[in-house]
Structure 1
Amino acid sequence: MTEQRLRVEIHGAVQGVGFRPYVYRLAVAMGLRGWVINDTQGVFIEVEGNRSTLEDFLARLSADKPPRARIDSLDAVWLAPVGYGDFEIRHSQEQGVKTVLVLPDIATCADCLAEVADPADRRYRYPFTNCTNCGPRFTIIQALPYDRPHTTMAHFAMCPQCRAEYENPLDRRFHAQPIACPACGPQLALYGASAGAVFGDVSGGRPGTTARESGRWPRSAGGWHLMAEGEGALRSAADALKAGAIVAVKGLGGFHLMVDAGNPQAVARLRERKPRRDKPFALMARDLDQARTLCRVSPQAAEALTGPEAPILLLPRRAGAPVADNVAPGSPNLGVMLPYTPLHHLLLQELDFPVVATSGNLTDEPICTDEWEAMERLGHVAGCFLIHDRPIARHVDDSVAWILDGEVRLLRRARGYAPLPVRMARPLPTLLGVGAHLKNTVALSVGEQVFISQHIGDLETAEALAAFERVIADFLRLYEARPVAIAHDLHPDYLSTRWAQQQLEQSGPGAGLTLIPVQHHHAHLAACLAENQAEGPALGVTWDGTGYGPDGTVWGGEFLLGDATGFTRVAHLRPFRLPGGEAAIQEPRRVALALLWELDGERALLREDLVPVQALSPTERRVLAQMLDRGIHAPWTTSAGRLFDGVAALLGLHPRVTFEGQAAMALEFVADPDVRDAYPVALVAQPCGDPSANHAPWAGVWDWGPLVEALLDDLARGTEVGVMAARFHNAAAAAILAIAQAVGEPRVALTGGCFQNRLLTERAVVQLRQAGFQVLLHRQVPPNDGGISLGQVAVAAARWAGGG
């Protein structure tokens, strides 16, 4: 039979997942000859043999690929043979545009865990065991293509045994770039303030553990002293946790602050020092069995917890769960994850309790990645530091997910998911989206892919802004990209917006850089459409806390009809004032007063039967009344998030909050799920006010006034809070359906931070689908501002294609 040559070009997540050895084994087993190579764009294969064998080879490339591989495109060309003698894996090439997918960090696989648990294995109890199917990726890579010299493992010289595994195409560690063992890889150390202070401000444990004289670690650093190394460091850290200490643990993408989750005094100390007064802490459980003592774990939840992404998963708390009440005060849920590195597995195996595992940072600061920096920044928080000497190339927090509408969906996109891209329908120019002010991420388009950064956080501090700038520089360097435009939020005072303007000023005339402002809620809608690969218009129900509107008011309860190319604001919530502006976000009692003022004017101050009015001193009432009456420092808003806050305050829930969303969460959690009736929904048709909106079939306002009046009547009657909270949620879902029916667009996208509310989202989805609407929800990016950067890129691309 005549021989032929097949050239295959594969793009996707095909580096760092054992794809080349898989191709090698497949080709050799089928008697084919040729080569396979990595480059900056993907994997390229040339293989020779008879036509039928090559066709079988081509089919099996996709069908039998490694478990962590993702093929986005596969192109094959038939050519004349050139006479290859055998099959080989060639060295990576570095030329060309860099479009290959950088893999996220992958949770430890079963094979590696078995080795760590086997006393006869040379990696027995080694905390940095990994292979091509698991281990660090994004947190160690420094350049493309993904080869060891381009990672933070470059300075660890492989021992002969590791080198043999690394170079053997038949070994699962073939070209596993983080490959290591106890003889040649990273090691652990434990630092404490003094020999007797490993356990912080508590006593107990085994303080006599001493460091071996390896010379690997300095005896002291910044007032911290080396207490133990290797196995001794691990066991002493476990003893410290048992004794109630706060332990800072260096992991994959940064530090955790850990403490016994069942010790209320230890948890209280952590809250005081971090500081984090009320916001729930994440937990790490030893295994699924322990997780099941904490939460109700469905088969789908178990699959997510044990999967390669291993996110923090929000799950219903079990009654009597063995955790302190102050771990997640007032919440019916717990955020639980399982160990995802051998280090975490080994540490949790030393304990018979779950631990709090919260980000190793101070509130509003980025997570610490360097051990010496951590000792400086977190020295007043932790009693000791369990560290290792594998450098972390970039900070990556734990991802947070929930199961909604039958799917695992993201609330924070980081470890396990970032920086995998969202694939677009067509190639885009190189665009940078710099995200929002809160829950910031950035996004970069390269060809048909939009790479989305890990969660950066709120840009509230100098440290957070510096992290934002590092992530952007990191992305541009990694992909050697030079954006033609930067997409940013309309809000002129967002630090991300100011940064974009500074880049334009610094680039100078003639540099070719363009700024593209994108309205906040339009970005939400565009992000939801982009990740659902939905072309054409949708009704975007974009509900969140605040976003700068083109009319200069604070938007947040919007119904936008459109797509990435543009939108019409067809409906919104009835406006009300925010007395004190940003201060109203921290004080829902101000929002409650504003709602009352809209309904009853100055008489609102006389409602001393209501908790939010009672919570205001006479002086505060007088000052707020002046703001509301004169419109001084009291901007108009249509914010759904603030409406939820105000209603929560009227029901006596959190007149003040200590973290964003606290009042709205309490309102959701207290709602009686069996209540199905709703407060009245009043829609008022009115001119849209948008000259481009003449085609809109309907435009109007959801007037929340009758709703609040009915709620006040219920309050006066002594109706149960759970019933009132449920009627409010039901009314919000009914309003969404009523406006969707009035507008008539068959596709509805639910987006914005308010759709982190399970009760609201599930009831809106059910009602919309029953009425025949197609509902789009977020999956790959969060509904909150973590998805804004993707939407900014999508809008900027549409404008660029349209010439403006």
Structure 2
Amino acid sequence: MRCSTASTMFSISESSCIPRALMRTRHHRACGARDGVRRHGGAPVQTLPSRCGAIDRRKYRRQRVRTIALPIADRSLTLRVMSSRARERRAIRVRGVVQGVGFRPAMYRLADSFGLGGFVRNDREGVWIEVEGRATDVDRFVAQLSSAAPDASRIDTVETATIAARGEPKFRIVESAAVDGERAAAGIPADLAPCADCLRELEDPANRRYRYPFINCTACGPRFTIVRDVPYDRAKTTMTPFEMCDACRREYEEPADRRFHAEPNACPACGPHAQLVSASRVIARREEAVALAARAIRDGAIVAVKGAGGFVLAVDATNESAVVRLRERKRRPHKPFAVMARSLVALDDVAVIDDLARTLLVDRARPIVLVPARRPCALALAVAPGLGDVGVYLPPTPLQHLLLTAGPPLQVMTSGNLAEEPIARTNGEALDKLASVADVVLLHDREIHARSDDSVVRVTSRRAIPMRRARGFVPEAIRLPVAGPPLLAVGGHERNTVCLVRDGQAVLSQHVGDLDHIDSERFFSEVIDHLHELVGAQPVAVAHDLHPDYRSTRWALRWAQNTKLPRLEIQHHHAHVAACLAEHGRTDRVAGIAFDGTGLGDDGSLWGGEILAADLGSARRLGHLRALALPGGEAAIREPWRVAAAALLDAGESLDVLSWVPSRELSRVSALLSTDLPVRATGAGRWFDAVAALLGIAAEISYDAQAAAQLEAIAAPGDAEPLELRIAAGEMFEIDLRPAIREIAHELRRGTTAPVLAARFHATLVLAIRESCHRTRERTVVLTGGCFQNRRLVEDATRVLETDGFEVLTHERVPPNDGGLALGQAAIASFQLATRRTTACA
């Protein structure tokens, strides 16, 4: 039998089993526990990639094999499997999320338990271990490595090789190593919410860290947001200015302590401290600052709070006037606010928390979780006006935990920014830009290096849909199905993220946001620079959207011109489909249902309701929703009644059902529609806008997808009868929704209620998706695009398609909205570059 990996190749007899010492393994979160290892009876079971099943290492016996050459760490080593009684030294390369999570201390304790010598260190590839001792003990160390790894770690690959013994009796943690000219493939972990041990200490009056807002250990605390460079050491974080006191140093150097080599380790004697300030003075310091901030929130004030990845704005979530005042000052009239709760018990009174939501809420990532709100409840109506869901989460930092303990148990915690700007990162930015919003500012002197907003997920009956991927998840890498050369993908214009690829690993950035504001463009550049610091890839190409007016596209054009390197244009909806394929590790051809607002198509028109036959290599348009006119262009998106008028006139209906719109405005739009001026788009999002306006629930909107969200919120529960639609036959079919518009107009005149018609419209889109899939030749369907953040749409479409025998892929790791575009661009570009390279070599 011949076995191979990316870096090793060796032969063994057909009757032999692979020795543990030479196994290279991959661990994937999808295959089992958080660190990628299934555990049965305490023993680790290694899992191969691509869901190939599990290999129980207990089934393998040690075999004698011949000498083997294996390149490791740029050295060609001669390996020999030795007898169990001989002294042996083993080199072990571990890749994955293995820095900043207590991995080295865990390896120290494991080696010490077997009486082994050697060392462990971080480097730019991950972790390098050398262990020495009796061969049987070395084997046991390797066998238990994965199960001994901390819960917060994720092991992607392990490579081992036998090297010459040095007679080293003790095991050590040594300083990190970095080779000049090389950059990092090591996985820096995301920020981790406070662990149970730290929370107990935080609330223990006898503990020296009682009520200390910056408590942490190897199992929790800031990581990505404070890391300047790799390898992950204190000297490369924003903790550099804080020299550990003697007590903290003893913890840091004591192998039995859970703060052994905890890089952000600190205490009140030596670490960062909080201050409560106003525009003109320092009000309080240290513990008193937190207590007074909590009291201010309880009294109805707006407090800017320095969180994990930037500032947030906090108010009492049950105080209607305080929430309304926050909306006025922040210039955010309707977009929902998130609510942070003291505990799960506090949330049970205001939201429906099922088992999946509960699991997500207590996850170390601490995302905002969108769940159904209870009505009525204690929350202010202004928290999430017009919506059925509310975003809730538990404190992601000790500082916020203290605020929730001393202040109201339910607090709005929303991004600390003005409309369209990035969240404030530095103390100076907060004092400058949030002075007109916050009454006081609770800040501290630990710098945030990488600004990162809160992550958002939405719970459905079967899974969680990522809506914003940032704090708690970034910079976790996603392995691409096809590995190509290093490249950069710059995403779209709205909900922007960027992606840097090295060694087949795609590192997707935190949420950048819409690129309309100059500060957002600066943030976009900051993110690219930081990814280069952490990943170190030197891109050979840049991938970008087709749309020439996207600021990300313009940046890519300048980059290509300056570097003289190629750029790859990736169609918007193909990238959506590819993002879903990439996160599932798939390369096969699928029916891609890409429903969003708008994106530039291959033919130069605006797409957004697309049925594609697609894989990573290409996409062919099979069908689409009927195009809608957008009278007034951008004005039509802000004022959905304009799109509703266009839909009515296109369907041959009068505008009487829009009687609440001033007749002068209707006449103006009618005149505009009689010309060739209005741009047309097939976007499903625009059809949601039209129907929402027809039903009188979203005449004007102030944030993206507001009309669609409100339409979903009012839809009557239960099954609904689809409205009439027509699908024109042909090589490229059109899903004609004009019959549905005529039926809605007729039913409105009859007095049918908006909730009934909203439910029927959702059922109509599900029917359109089902009929479209049956017109393709593919049996696997990808549901992607921002419209599939809609819980009702994605659940009903998935159920119907699976009943018909289709395999349905939906987003589970990256958002279906434009926040996932960069991953899709990277997956397509990687495939294309790898294919070209293979062809050239052939």
Tell me by how many angstroms 1:735 deviates: 1.0
- Determine the structure 2 residue equivalent to 1:687: 731
1:767 corresponding residue in structure 2: 800
8 Å CA contact 2:482, 2:831 repeated in 1: no
CA shift for structure 1 position 419: 1.1
What is the CA–CA distance in structure 1 between the aligned matches of 2:148 and 2:464, rounded to whole Å? 25
Query: Could you say which residue in structure 2 is the equivalent of 1:250?
Result: 306
1:71 aligns with 2:132: no
User: CA separation in 2, counterparts of 1:279 and 1:561?
Assistant: 35
Q: Which runs of 5+ in 2 are unaligned?
A: 1-84, 838-842
Q: Which of 567, 571, 581 is the equivalent residue of 2:623?
A: 571
Residue 644 of structure 2, aligned match among 592, 595, 598: 592
Superposed, 1:31-180 pairs within 5 Å as 31-95=115-179, 96-180=182-266
Corresponding residue of 1:263? 319
1:344 equivalent in alignment to 2:392:
no
Instruction: Give me the whole-angstrom Cα distance separating, in 2, the residues matched to 1:407 and 1:41.
Output: 33
Partner of 2:95: 11
1:477 CA drift (Å): 2.8
The one-letter code of the counterpart of 1:289 is V
Contact 2:185–2:536 (Cα < 8 Å) also in 1: no
Q: Distance in 1 between matches of 2:123 and 2:110?
A: 20
Kept in 2, the 8 Å contact 1:297–1:315? The answer is: yes
Aligned pairs for 1:635-784 within 5 A: 635-688=679-732, 700-784=733-817
Q: CA deviation at 1:7?
A: 1.7
Q: Which amino acid aligns with 1:675?
A: D
Shift of 1:55: 2.5
Unaligned runs of 5+ in 1: 194-223, 689-699
Q: CA deviation at 1:616?
A: 4.0
- What code does the residue aligned with 2:129 have? I
Matched ranges for 1:190-589 at <5 A: 190-193=276-279, 224-507=280-563, 511=564, 513-589=565-641
1:405 and 1:63 mapped to 2: Cα distance? 32
CA distance in 2, matches of 1:616, 1:445: 53
What is the DSSP-based 3-state SS (H/G/I as helix, E as strand, rest coil) of the residue aligned with 1:277? coil
Does the CA contact (< 8 Å) of 2:543 and 2:826 recur in 1? yes
Q: Say whether the 8 Å CA contact 1:247–1:257 is kept in structure 2.
A: yes
CA pair 447-782 structure 1, distance change in 2 beyond 3 A: same
Q: Relative to structure 2, which stretch is displaced further, 644-653 or 759-768?
A: 644-653
The 3-state SS of whatever aligns with 1:739 is helix
Q: In the alignment, residue 88 of structure 2 is paired with which amino acid?
A: Q
Say if 2:631 is the partner of 1:631: no
Kindly report structure 1 stretches of 4+ aligned residues shifted beyond 6 Å. Answer: none
Instruction: Return the alpha-carbon distance in structure 1 between the equivalents of residues 289 and 562 of structure 2.
Output: 49
Mapped contact 1:262–1:353 kept (Cα < 8 A): no
Q: Deviations over 1:535-554 (max 9, x none)?
A: 21111100000101111111
Aligned-partner residue type, residue 67 of structure 1? D
Give the AA of the match of 2:137: T
SS of the equivalent of 2:226 reads coil
1:797 offset after TM fit, Å?
Answer: 1.2
For 2:226, give the aligned amino acid: I
Aligned mates of 2:553, 2:375 — CA distance in 1: 46
1:607 aligns with 2:655: yes
Once the two structures are TM-superposed, the CA of residue 703 in structure 1 deviates from its matched residue by 1.0
Give the equivalent residue in structure 2 for 1:202: none
Q: Determine if the alignment matches structure 1 residue 184 to structure 2 residue 184.
A: no
Q: Is contact 2:469–2:819 with CA below 8 Å preserved after alignment?
A: yes
SS in 2 for 1:527: helix
Aligned letter for 1:797? S
Contact 1:675 1:723 in 2 (8 A): no
TM-score where L is the length of structure 1: 0.92
AA of the residue aligned to 2:756: V
Bigger Cα displacement from structure 2, 760-769 vs 659-668: 659-668
Q: Distance in 1 between matches of 2:143 and 2:742?
A: 65
Percent identical among aligned pairs is 46
Whichever residue aligns with residue 708 of structure 1, its letter is I
For residue 227 of structure 1, report the CA deviation from its aligned partner.
0.7
CA displacement, residues 24-45 of structure 1 (integer Å, 9 cap, x when unaligned): 1111101222221210111111
CA distance in 1, matches of 2:208, 2:131: 37
Give the superposed CA RMSD. Answer: 1.4
Tell me if the contact between 1:752 and 1:785 (Cα under 8 Å) persists in the aligned partners: yes
The alpha-carbon deviation at position 6 of structure 1 amounts to: 2.0
SS in 2 for 1:544: strand
> Structure 1 stretch 736-745 or stretch 419-428: which is displaced more?
419-428
How far did 1:51 drift?
Answer: 3.3
Q: What does residue 70 of structure 2 align with? A: none
1: CA distance between counterparts of 2:94 and 2:672?
62
Tell me the alpha carbon deviations over residues 264-289 of structure 1, each in whole angstroms, 9 at most, x when there is no partner: 11111110110100111001111111
Whole-angstrom distance in 1 between the partners of 2:477 and 2:515:
23
Partner Cα separation in structure 2 for residue 347 and residue 181 of structure 1: 19
Higher alpha-carbon deviation: 386-395 or 41-50: 41-50
1:127-174 per-residue CA deviation (whole Å, 9 max, x = no partner) reads 000001000001100011000010000011110111111122222111
d(CA) in 1 for partners of 2:213 and 2:447?
15
User: 1:518: Cα distance to partner?
Assistant: 0.7
Amino acid at match of 2:552: S
